[in-house]
Amino acid sequence: MAHLQAESVSKGELRLCARLGLDEAGTQSLLAAMRAGVSSRAAVVLTSRAPEGYVPPFACEKLDAEWLPPHVYVPAAGEKPTSYPDYAEGFYYSLDLSSCWESACLAEVERPATSLDMCAAPGGKTMLMAARFGGQNHTANEVHPGRRGILRQNLQQCGYPDVEVTGFRPDQWARHGHTFDLLLVDAPCSGQSLLCKGIKNPGCLSSSMVNGNAKRQKGILLSAVQCVAPGGHIVYTTCTYDPEENEKVISYILKRVPGWSAVEVASLSAFRSALSEFPAYRLLPVHGFGAGGFCCLLRKNN
């Protein structure tokens, strides 16, 4: 490796790059991003509190990206959207641009009559869903009590007090028997992209953490598929890179559970994963739209 000495690269980093099938240039790019920790890129999504015709008070970039969701703005370099009074007023919610990229899957979904964000805290995916479809008949679920409190606070601040906040485990939802037209599953993961944001995340590249999360994610999805009405959808997302937690989790579900298929997302075609035969999408720091992530849209056919 020309830029990174081989002895400075850990076994976990080498294993990840090999699993991703990266060539020398791709390996150098990803490892450099992990070390630099500056790939995070801010975005804001307007909320129900924003007045009609509202435009954020800070300078924004005009992003040439077909996948950019509605009501999302990208602050210009150096801008800090959370420092403006409008943020405290709840006119917009701040999150990483890569989360907005993941929500592009929603463009292929008709407005749901009912929806559930199964792993909702701190609330970003719910905000993006509400910006596209509205927050009516939406449930935001978070198992962890502390994170559930943050979720509830964010929803209230941004003008969604009517969104029901719950704290059930995925298996409890499955036993409940209620079905939804749309499920958001932003699954707990090893969070490897945090390294590219400059956030320490010890052990995120270890096989034990990756495999443990993959097992948990499969369990969550096995419960989630029982909570979807015929013709409904699941948007599965993570903020990690390893295929064990992404493509292989989806492959496991498609092989194990009849009646499900992965759906093409037209606006994400440039990000189509080469690691699966079905449509799935991955973002890396080299793309320039944040720290990265993975998404796949699943449809219940019957």
Q: List, for residues 240-262, the tens digit of each pLDDT value.
A: 999 999 999 999 999 999 999 99
Exposed, middle or buried, 97 (CB in 10 Å: 0-12/13-18/19+)?
A: buried
C-alpha distances in angstroms, 252 versus 232, 243, 247? 19, 12, 9
Question: In this structure, what DSSP letter does residue 182 have?
Answer: E
Q: Maximum CA pair distance of the chain?
A: 56
Backbone angles phi, psi at 181, to 5 degrees: -80, -25
Point out the catalytic residue in the list 17, 158, 239, 295: 239
Runs of H (alpha helix) within 235-298: 247-256
pLDDT of the chain, 302 residues: tens digit per residue? 445 555 588 999 999 999 999 999 999 999 999 999 999 999 999 999 999 999 999 999 999 999 999 999 999 999 999 999 999 999 999 999 999 999 999 999 999 999 999 999 999 999 999 999 998 999 999 999 999 999 999 999 999 999 999 999 999 999 988 999 999 999 999 999 999 999 999 999 999 999 999 999 999 999 999 999 999 999 999 999 999 999 999 999 999 999 999 999 999 999 999 999 999 999 999 999 999 999 999 999 97
Active site residue 239: yes
Tell me the whole-structure pTM to 2 decimals: 0.96
85 token code pair: 């009074």
CB of 98 closer than 8 Å to CB of 284: no
Sorted by where each starts, the structural domains of the chain and their CATH numbers stand as 37-300 (3.40.50.150)
pLDDT in tens, 41-94: 999 999 999 999 999 999 999 999 999 999 999 999 999 999 999 999 999 999
Strands 42-46 and 72-75: antiparallel
Helix (H, G, I), strand (E, B) or coil at 105: helix
Strands 228-238 and 180-186: parallel
CA angle (169, 105, 74) in 5-degree steps: 105
Residue where the block lists tokens 């056919």: 301
**How far apart are the C-alpha atoms of 237 and 246, rounded to whole Å?**
8
Q: What residues pair up with 61 in beta bridges, in sequence order?
A: 74
* 272: Cβ contacts below 8 Å, ≥ 6 apart: 279, 280, 281
CB of 195 closer than 8 Å to CB of 201: yes
Runs of H (alpha helix) within the chain: 11-19, 24-36, 85-88, 97-102, 124-133, 145-157, 170-176, 207-224, 247-256
Backbone angles phi, psi at 272, to 5 degrees: -55, 130
